[in-house]
Chain A
Amino acid sequence: MNAELVIAIIVSIAAAATPILLAALGELVVEKSGVLNLGVEGMMLIGAVITVAVTLTTGNHLLAIVCAALAASLSSLIFGFLTLTLSANQVATGLALTILGTGFSALFGQPYTVKSVPIIRSPFPPELAADPIWRVIFGHPPLVYFALLMVVAVWWFLNRTRAGLIVRAVGENDLSAHSIGYPVIGVRYLAVMFGGAMAGIAGACFPLMLTPQWVERLTTGRGWIALALVVFAAWRPFRLLAGAYFFGFMMIFEIYAKSNSAFRVLPSEFWAALPYLATVLVLVLISLRREGRTSAPACLGKPFVATG
């Protein structure tokens, strides 16, 4: 275990954690505004397939990511319209969105399946990005840096801006927020669309960073992990960063454990289950201290209907 291997592992962890972090950040904002959108996995798949389609057609990564964000955001509008304007049940609508995303992406992606997608490389010059030591800072694909920036941005937005305060107010007590004059439904729409855009970018991570192709169900459930991590993070952006990287660490650790004789005393399936069990364990440990607990936004999941 030398320094180069450790750095290689760190780079892998960052790559694994980033899509989960991005999707979870988006969902965090959505849930802060009081809405529960379980359609993250579906929106990620839409983002992934659009990314592949645009990259293969135009060769432009940035355009692909933007299109992915737009497409996913559009799909989240379906969810928004149903739950915010028509007050439909959020859990069921979110699940339906996941089904839609899975089916749409599979159908749309059919012409693109047998092709390799060029991966996106670090924005920094190769002397730094490829250097075995320095690449721990400079060698990550741009989406990794973007995700880290977004953590700060989301935290700052929610806690230091007036707009963020409105979002939180809408999520904690929508009736009071409404009586003050805040546009509850409008704020939630924006939050939902932001969540969709982030899920789309998260989906883009797969073909551009992890698995350079399109195939049905490419994201294999990582969207659900993102949902769980929002809860793990107690709706706090920095804790989410820690949670996403922790989970990424566990996933990479799983592979190393499986491939090293020292760990083989325990069966392969144990290591596969470990990331999930560890996440629960850590949350329990955090919750042992009373200060560690934070409850969900009070209006999470409940529809809002203006009474006046």
Chain B
Amino acid sequence: MTSFNRRTMIKIGGAAAALPLLGSRAFAQEKLKVGFVLVGSPDDNGWNFGHDRGRKEMLEAIGEDKVETTVVTNVAEGPDSERVFRELAQQGHKLIYGTSFGFGDSMLKVAKQFPDVKFEWATGNVSAPNLSLYNAKFHEGRAVCGTVAGLMTKSNKLAYVGSIPIPEVRMGINAFAIAARKVNPNATVKVVYIDSWFDPAKEAEAARALIDQGIDVIAQHTDGPVIPQIAEERKIVGVFGQGSDMSAFAPTTHLTSIIDRWGPHYTKSVQSVLDGTWTESSVWDGIASGEVEIGPYNANVPADVVAAAEKVKADIASGALHPFAGPIKDNTGTERVAAGDVIDDGEYWAVDWYAEGVEA
């Protein structure tokens, strides 16, 4: 029975070595602990990257002597996320951000259990005394991109690679199409959903297939820079960065990008917790307050196109232009928004149609 004894020795040794491991973790006492729960990885150069960058900007603005952050990545929506939110709260985090719509159920549950912890739910729709909502009007950025796309396209065929047919994606398509057709009434927008927020191989295939069918400008609502890479590889007219500046991946074809700037909001909200002024709120800002930024324009974009795009951007910021101002017809020809009317924030979520020119 020699082998048995040897094994026992290993076990005992292991257990002995393990005992000191059971010591407790030191809890940071004075700094504000802020938690960030991401649904994916910051490597995606898109949605999650944007939030992580906002976090870093906030840390720089407020200072690492006053605030400490914890980032949890690849958290699945559902019971797993509930556990994560609860663990963050239990480990002394007083402000916790959930960066996906799907975290809402969990956040609402945990918020009830920890009334002294503040929660903020990105793209959420139900608030609570200690749970605020925050969102960004990405569709304003789409309108600017649409303007550029409409003016730059040579084939008049634009394309949009979407993830999942949810309202935010649909309205992004609509804003893009409406803006493009305003400057180019012949432009059409082909839409392909890849039925996932993340599938680089499928995104690449979709991009190539669209390009083979004559598309020369692509916009995307998926995470990751694969589509700009394919656009560059095929040397089409243009592609737009999603969530961040992706020109590193497509130096000649990347026209501009929509950049998610969460930094200003994170800084504001963390400061409000430090000051004790945090209240339940619902923030939905866009270009005007800097949450949505338009990235630098490619050198290949002609000056008049830049000017047109900048004007759209300025008009949206000032309120002179609404991305969904009527008259708007849907893609079956029916008028959905009358002249002089707009789709306001409340109606935004109920839109289940596509604008004229969209093939979806």
What is the chain B residue whose CB lies nearest that of A109?
Answer: B43
For A5, give its contact among B201, B206, B213, B233 (CB under 8 Å).
B213
A5-B212, A116-B248, A211-B226 are contacts. A258–B201 as well, Cβ < 8 Å?
no
Chain A residues within 8 Å of B233, by CB: 119, 212
* Contact mask for chain A residues 56-77; partner B; CB cutoff 8 A; 1 contact, 0 none: 0000000000000000000000
How far is A110 from B41 in the complex, measured between Cα atoms in Å? 10
How far is A174 from B41 in the complex, measured between Cα atoms in Å? 46
How far is A296 from B202 in the complex, measured between Cα atoms in Å? 32
Least CB distance from B230 to A in Å reads 8
Assess the B201–A8 pair: CB atoms within 8 A.
no
Assess the A259–B210 pair: CB atoms within 8 A.
yes
Assess the B200–A16 pair: CB atoms within 8 A.
no
Assess the B201–A206 pair: CB atoms within 8 A.
yes
How far is A9 from B205 in the complex, measured between Cα atoms in Å? 10
How far is A218 from B199 in the complex, measured between Cα atoms in Å? 8
Assess the A210–B212 pair: CB atoms within 8 A.
no
Is B44 interfacial (CB-CB < 8 Å)?
A: yes
Assess the B43–A113 pair: CB atoms within 8 A.
yes
Assess the A268–B165 pair: CB atoms within 8 A.
yes
For B212, give its contact among A9, A116, A215, A269 (CB under 8 Å).
A9
What is the chain A residue whose CB lies nearest that of B224?
Answer: A215
What is the chain B residue whose CB lies nearest that of A8?
Answer: B212
How far is A119 from B192 in the complex, measured between Cα atoms in Å? 25
* Contact mask for chain A residues 181-224; partner B; CB cutoff 8 A; 1 contact, 0 none: 00000000000000000000000001000111101111110100
What is the chain B residue whose CB lies nearest that of A1?
Answer: B213
How far is A264 from B165 in the complex, measured between Cα atoms in Å? 14
How far is A258 from B206 in the complex, measured between Cα atoms in Å? 9
Assess the A259–B190 pair: CB atoms within 8 A.
yes
How far is A220 from B159 in the complex, measured between Cα atoms in Å? 24
- The prevalent SS among residues of A at the interface is helix
- In the complex, chain B residues 189-247 whose Cβ is within 8 Å of any chain A Cβ: 190-193, 195, 198-206, 208-210, 212-213, 224-226, 229, 233
How far is A205 from B209 in the complex, measured between Cα atoms in Å? 18
Chain B residues within 8 Å of A217, by CB: 198
Assess the B212–A259 pair: CB atoms within 8 A.
no
User: Interface size on B (CB < 8 Å)?
Assistant: 35
How far is A216 from B198 in the complex, measured between Cα atoms in Å? 10
A8-B212, A110-B43, A259-B210 are contacts. A213–B205 as well, Cβ < 8 Å?
no
For A12, give its contact among B191, B195, B212, B248 (CB under 8 Å).
B212
Assess the B43–A215 pair: CB atoms within 8 A.
yes
User: Interface size on A (CB < 8 Å)?
Assistant: 35
Tell me which of A148-156, A249-257, A299-307 binds B: A249-257
Assess the B209–A216 pair: CB atoms within 8 A.
no
For B229, give its contact among A213, A218, A222 (CB under 8 Å).
A213
Assess the A255–B192 pair: CB atoms within 8 A.
yes
* Contact mask for chain B residues 173-197; partner A; CB cutoff 8 A; 1 contact, 0 none: 0000000000000000011110100
Assess the B44–A215 pair: CB atoms within 8 A.
yes
Is B353 interfacial (CB-CB < 8 Å)?
A: no
Is A3 interfacial (CB-CB < 8 Å)?
A: no
Is A175 interfacial (CB-CB < 8 Å)?
A: no
Assess the B229–A116 pair: CB atoms within 8 A.
yes
How far is A258 from B191 in the complex, measured between Cα atoms in Å? 8
Is A285 interfacial (CB-CB < 8 Å)?
A: no
Least CB distance from B235 to A in Å reads 12
For A211, give its contact among B159, B201, B359 (CB under 8 Å).
B201
Least CB distance from A60 to B in Å reads 20
A5-B213, A8-B212, A12-B208 are contacts. A116–B249 as well, Cβ < 8 Å?
yes
Is B45 interfacial (CB-CB < 8 Å)?
A: yes
Chain B residues within 8 Å of A110, by CB: 43
What is the chain B residue whose CB lies nearest that of A13?
Answer: B205
Most A Cβ at <10 Å: residue of B45, B195, B210, B360:
B195
Chain A residues within 8 Å of B74, by CB: 216
Chain B residues within 8 Å of A113, by CB: 43, 45
Assess the A251–B43 pair: CB atoms within 8 A.
no
How far is A211 from B210 in the complex, measured between Cα atoms in Å? 16
Chain B residues within 8 Å of A256, by CB: 209, 213
Chain A residues within 8 Å of B205, by CB: 12, 16, 210, 251-252, 255
* Contact mask for chain A residues 79-104; partner B; CB cutoff 8 A; 1 contact, 0 none: 00000000000000000000000000
Is A272 interfacial (CB-CB < 8 Å)?
A: yes
Least CB distance from A251 to B in Å reads 7
Chain A residues within 8 Å of B192, by CB: 255, 258-259
A12-B209, A212-B233, A219-B201 are contacts. A258–B193 as well, Cβ < 8 Å?
yes
Least CB distance from A248 to B in Å reads 10
Least CB distance from A64 to B in Å reads 17
Least CB distance from B41 to A in Å reads 5
A12-B212, A220-B201 are contacts. A255–B206 as well, Cβ < 8 Å?
yes
Assess the B41–A216 pair: CB atoms within 8 A.
yes
- In the complex, chain A residues 111-146 whose Cβ is within 8 Å of any chain B Cβ: 113-116, 119
Chain A residues within 8 Å of B200, by CB: 206, 210-211, 213, 215, 218, 220
Least CB distance from B225 to A in Å reads 7
A5-B212, A206-B201 are contacts. A261–B359 as well, Cβ < 8 Å?
yes
How far is A268 from B225 in the complex, measured between Cα atoms in Å? 23
Chain B residues within 8 Å of A215, by CB: 41, 43-44, 200, 224
What is the chain A residue whose CB lies nearest that of B41?
Answer: A216
A215-B224, A220-B200 are contacts. A268–B212 as well, Cβ < 8 Å?
no
Q: A5-B213, A213-B224, A216-B43 are in contact. List 6 more A-B contacts (CB 8 A).
A: A206-B200, A213-B226, A215-B224, A255-B192, A255-B210, A256-B213
3 shortest A-B CB distances, which residue pairs?
A8-B212, A113-B43, A211-B200
30 intermolecular pairs with C-beta atoms under 8 Å apart: A5-B212, A9-B209, A9-B212, A113-B45, A116-B249, A206-B200, A210-B200, A211-B200, A211-B201, A211-B203, A211-B229, A215-B41, A215-B200, A216-B41, A216-B74, A219-B201, A220-B199, A220-B200, A251-B205, A252-B205, A255-B202, A255-B206, A258-B193, A258-B206, A259-B209, A261-B359, A268-B165, A268-B193, A268-B195, A272-B195
